[in-house]
Amino acid sequence: MNRLDWLKIVDYNQDTGKIIWLSRGDDYYSNKSSRKRFNTWRAGKEATSANTQGYKTISHNGKTHLAHRVVWCIIYGGYPVESIDHINHDRGDNRSENLATVGHIENMQNQRLRPDNKSGFTGVHFDKNCKKWRASIVVGKKRVNLGSYESLADAVSARKSANRRYGFHFNHGEKL
């Protein structure tokens, strides 16, 4: 679907990021009862629901669309070739100010803290063998060892410094 197709069936609010179903006329449905049923049950209500990864989706004509891509199409007139990054890591926040088109590597440099992380900091873990905190970072598909540290604070400091040095986003690794 293109921008004009979306604008015929939904309204996008840039301040809230919500996508709302618009009322449909007789020309959209083959019979009046279908139109009436849709307008009664759906028009004026949010058009999205969250999928298992936390992204909002819109189902239309048997196809599911990622809402952030629909928003991008509505705002800019087409779908991006690259990825769309949710800057604040909230996959359900589709406000235009929270969306940015980025390449894959840049998108990987703005990830939230993984739920299975035990140290509380991306790229930092406790090495049981040497009984020290280790810090590392992945740059261009290559893991860079940042050293072993007696304290968690020193390992975190090394990782944050590496984030800046290698151009990672300022909130990379933060909790949602």
pLDDT category, 158, cuts 50, 70, 90?
very high
C-alpha distances (whole Å) from 101 to each of 4, 10, 13, 98 are 21, 22, 19, 10
Distance (Å, rounded) from C-alpha 9 to C-alpha 1? 11
pLDDT averaged over every residue in the chain: 93
Write down the pTM of the prediction. 0.78
pLDDT value for 134: 97
- The predicted model gives 25-32 an average pLDDT of 85
Residue-wise pLDDT for 64-80, tens only, equals 999 999 999 999 999 99
Structural domains of the chain ordered from first start: 3-106 (3.90.75.20), 112-165 (1.20.5)
Question: Which residue from 136, 135, 138, 79 is spatially nearest to 108, judged by alpha carbons?
Answer: 138
Token couple for 106: 């840049």
C-alpha distances (whole Å) from 53 to each of 9, 62, 90, 169 are 25, 20, 11, 21
Please state, as a whole number, how many other Cβ atoms lie within 10 Å of the Cβ of residue 113.
16
pLDDT category, 176, cuts 50, 70, 90?
low
**How do 124-127 and 132-139 pair as beta strands?**
antiparallel
The pairs formed by 51-59 with CB atoms below 8 angstroms and a separation of 24 or more are 53/91, 54/91, 54/92, 55/91, 55/92, 56/19, 56/91, 56/92, 56/94, 58/10, 58/19
pLDDT value for 9: 95
Three-state DSSP class for residue 143? strand
The answer to whether the beta carbons of residues 155 and 143 sit under 8 Å apart is no
Of 93 and 32, more confident: 93
- The predicted model gives 94-116 an average pLDDT of 90
Phi-psi group of 157: left, alpha or beta (phi > 0 → left; psi -120 to 50 → alpha; rest → beta): alpha
Lowest mean pLDDT among 101-105, 133-137, 158-162: 101-105
pLDDT value for 175: 82
- The predicted model gives 48-73 an average pLDDT of 96
